[in-house]
Structure 1
């Protein structure tokens, strides 16, 4: 049997993947780190524009989330465009999404800060919420890699 990436995805699975992206965006906009942690496996692996491999939530929060979330505004995923590949047993998935946000130059002027992400997910049983096991988030080419906004964090 040939392997295919574009197999139909159960509507519940893609809805839960969109829910994950939606909830993460809520936490990013609120600069609220503590409740976002439950969306990620404790030992997940991340990398992106600002960091090489980061092992675990603590490293990702310290070296990625806390360096970015307080510096941007309006972080929103393009939820209608979320793509997913789900394993036949529906316990592992890869979600892909594009985001929009506003970054700030050193002089305070705003710029469009657009990017994309690939997130791998796992869960213990079909129908349970997805938990991220890996994230790769990166900015679109030509987007400034630093934002200089300064918002306080909730947690």
Structure 2
């Protein structure tokens, strides 16, 4: 039977989300076309997003992420219950959504919001986020006003018209969820998207000190013009030795690439941007790092993009022959 999760999007003390979710569940339980279960974020305490690799990769490193993924993967659709905080959704809900990707994609979702204006702005932001994740967001939604749909003590007292709106929302979520994810078209990833995902994979693997993950992202014959001598490093093993020296230097590694510009032509591509490598030294001293220029070349082999060349450089002060390392993009 189709499983629909009713997700409580707030963990704030005194929240109204629990009674709203209970109202949704009690109304939904009268139906015989799906099984409804409440998902309370209080039962899934997730730290601020701490996964080293993007959720798109599906390679979750932490036990709390894998447990959360197992919970969400079991549902065919969702009713998300959200308050409106400062014209948007609670940070805890955004964080919980950001942890995953495939577990959300192509699944049905409907929205029940509440707030001074019915939580309309929060619902709008949440809809945009879910559509970005390729979820099947249904058009009907329920907006509960703190003035009209709650009594003076803050207890939910939704009228018959809101119950009717909820029934319509549930009709659409169940029908869409019953189709299953396979009924939705697979997202088409462009070559530019694949290359940016590959670069994100590099930065994530460096932060995680994961040399085996890095090995999968470079071509076996990669040529690297790294900032360290010699003039070139040939082959993936030589490249990984450079990264190994970085990992030995820092206790914790930070790495970012920004302002990335990509260009693709057939089975080859290039990208350029600015990178900064830093971290914490073994004695606990923070090292903020220096901005450098980064150029990457790619080749598509058997349908997968790999890095075939990279180059890192800093500007040179020609009169004194020294590199300029204090510039920022």
Give TM-score scaled by structure 1 length.
0.69
Q: 1:55 to 1:75 in 2, by over 3 A?
A: same
TM-score, normalised via structure 2 length: 0.35
**Contact kept? 1:103, 1:113, Cα under 8 Å:** no
Q: How big is each residue's C-alpha offset from its partner over 1:77-110, in whole Å with a ceiling of 9 and x where there is no partner?
A: 22xx2112222xx200011121233256898353
Measure the CA separation in 2 of the matches of 1:138 and 1:31: 22
Q: Distance in 2 between matches of 1:28 and 1:21?
A: 11
> Higher Cα Rg: structure 1 or 2?
2
* Aligned counterpart in structure 2 of residue 135 of structure 1, from 297, 304, 310: 310
The whole-number CA distance in structure 1 between the counterparts of 2:263 and 2:278 is 29
Out of 96, 100, 111, the position equivalent to 2:272 is 96
1:13 maps to 191
How far residue 138 of structure 1 moved from its aligned partner, in angstroms, is 3.0
Is residue 112–residue 143 contact of structure 1 (8 Å, CA) maintained in 2? no
| Deviates further, 68-77 or 33-42 | 68-77
Moved more, 95-104 or 113-122: 95-104
- For 2:244, what is the secondary structure of its paired residue? helix
Q: State how many pairs are aligned.
A: 127
- CA–CA distance in structure 1, aligned partners of residues 273 and 248 of structure 2: 21
**RMSD across aligned positions (CA):** 2.6
Gapped regions of structure 1 (runs ≥ 5): 1-10, 145-155
Query: How many Å separate the matches in 2 of 1:44 and 1:110?
Result: 29
Contact 1:29/1:69 (CA < 8 Å) preserved in 2?
no
8 Å CA contact 1:102, 1:112 repeated in 2:
yes
Is 1:25–1:76's contact at 8 Å kept on the other side of the alignment?
yes
5+ residue gaps, structure 2, are: 1-188, 316-322
Q: Does the aligned pair in 1 maintain the 2:295–2:310 contact within 8 Å? A: yes
In structure 2, the residue matched to 1:112 is 289
Alpha-carbon offset, residue 54 of structure 1 = 1.0
Is the strand fraction higher in 1 or 2?
1
